[in-house]
Amino acid sequence: MTAPDDGLFRELIRYKEDVFRVCLGFSRNVADAEDLCQDAFLKAFARAGDLRQPGSLRIWLLRIARTTCLDHSRRMRRNPIDLADVVPDTAADPRSPEIVSEVNESLRRLKAAVQSLPKKQREVFVLREYGGLSYEDLARVLKLRPGTVMSRLNRARRALTAAMKEE
Amino acid sequence: MNENDTGKPLLDMPEKVRLIIQRETEDGLRRFRAGNFDSRLQAVGRIRPEETKFAPSPFSRVWIPIFGLAVGAIVIISAVLWVSRAKSQLPAANPVTIDAALDALPGFRTLSLSRQTEPAANEDISRATAAMSAALASATRSAATWKETSAPPSGNLVPRYSLEQKMKILFGDKTIEQALSLFKEKFKEV
């Protein structure tokens, strides 16, 4: 890999928050998400020669981020999610300890529920709910028909709601 | 967040879940923006090539030693095969010398002498063989005669011998007995 040239770097870095949000959805905490975001950008710089349509830079970048995150979650899936994984730093939180504790527990349950989703549903859910992608963009990133995207998202939401209620 | 782009009904996210995600995303972005991601990424992008120059990839770490071992094994096996082949191609010992050496052994000498001094037994065997051939020939002749004279009209070609004829063929001249007794004596000697 070579150091990215300034033009390409500026083009790609515009989408850093989109990439970060997707990475946050797939990962357990902010620190992991930052590492994944960095990995995704480094991969993108290394594969810049493969980019055929400069107009679809965002879609291409999100596709790389998705692959990077899925590889990472495959490695991490065996380990159950602890509260410490989800919330590494609560000292600076201005809210009362009870509220912080409740919020963090809800977050842990959500993370566990997202991680327990099947891969196809998980990726649709994260890209939509964290990344904020439209159905059309989701279909382009995942190379699926919009109808398929919607049905997977529906199943993911149903499963997630059920999982949150169970706990 | 729950608008439906294609007109199909979609399950709404529960408000609680939506709020958790929103809060998590906002907190995460706040920290991300404070982390100076751009300069960190540029620094890593510059450092990475030098790191990879000194740290071999996993592919190299695994396959180069395996390749080295394989080459070493091939060289050793080739050397062993070459040495064994060279040994097998050495000039063979003189067969006359080996023959002479074998003849010099007491057992072989006795055997060759006995071969030379006992032609009588061989003559007995050949005589017995000739007698047996003659007996078989005469039996065949008599069978042919019988066939000519008493062949059934049905065309059955299998010759039918009476018990007397069979006994005559087998034991009339006692040639088989004689031949077997000669063979028996010969094998006893050996």
Give contacts of A132 with chain B, Cβ < 8 Å: 1
Q: Which of B183, B185, B62 is nearest to B128 (CA)?
A: B183
Which residue blocks in A47-134 are alpha helix, DSSP H? 57-76, 83-86, 97-116, 119-129
Q: Is A167 on the interface with B (CB under 8 A)?
A: no
DSSP element (H, E) containing A87: none
How many independent structural domains does chain B possess? 3
Its CATH class, for the domain covering A1-79, is mainly alpha
Residues B179/B129, Cβ–Cβ less than 8 Å: yes
Classify residue B171: in a domain, yes or no.
yes
Give contacts of B12 with chain A, Cβ < 8 Å: 157
In three-state form (DSSP H/G/I as H, E/B as E, the rest C), the secondary structure along B61-127 is HHHHHHHHHHHHHHHHHHHHHHHHHHHHCCCCCCHHHHHHHHHHCHHHHHHHHHHHHCHHHHHHHHH
3-state helix vs strand vs coil in chain B, percent to 5: 75, 0, 25
Min Cα separation B67/chain A (Å): 26
Classify residue B182: in a domain, yes or no.
yes
Q: Which residues contact B165 (CB under 8 A, 6 or more apart)?
A: B142, B146
* pLDDT tens for each residue of B10-32: 667 778 888 889 988 998 999 99
Same domain, B137 and B178: yes
Same domain, B75 and B115: no
What separation in angstroms does the CA of B46 have from each of A45, A145, B57?
11, 39, 18
Q: 3-class DSSP state for residue B151?
A: coil
**Taking CA atoms, what residue in B is nearest to A30?**
B28
Classify residue B100: in a domain, yes or no.
no
- Domain boundaries, given as residue ranges, for chain A: 1-79
Min Cα separation A64/chain B (Å): 16
Classify residue B28: in a domain, yes or no.
yes
Classify residue B1: in a domain, yes or no.
no
What domain range includes position B70? Answer: 58-90
Whole-angstrom Cα distance, residue A37 to residue A22?
9
Using CB atoms, which residue from A38, A106, A164 is nearest to B44?
A38
Whole-angstrom Cα distance, residue A21 to residue B24?
10
Q: Which of A98, A88, A110 is nearest to A159 (CA)?
A: A110
Chain-centroid distance of CA B148 in Å reads 58
Same domain, B118 and B146: yes
Give contacts of A41 with chain B, Cβ < 8 Å: 41
Q: Give me the total of CB pairs closer than 8 Å, taking one residue from chain A and one from chain B.
A: 98
Whole-angstrom Cα distance, residue A35 to residue A23?
9
Same domain, B125 and B50: no
Min Cα separation A7/chain B (Å): 13
Instruction: Give me the tens of pLDDT residue by residue for chain A, a chain 167 residues long.
Output: 445 567 778 888 999 999 999 999 998 888 899 999 999 999 998 888 777 776 788 999 999 999 999 998 887 776 666 666 666 555 566 667 777 788 888 888 888 899 889 999 999 999 999 999 999 999 999 999 999 999 999 999 999 988 888 76
- Could you report the predicted ipTM of this complex, rounded to two decimals? 0.83
Q: Is A93 on the interface with B (CB under 8 A)?
A: no
Min Cα separation B65/chain A (Å): 25
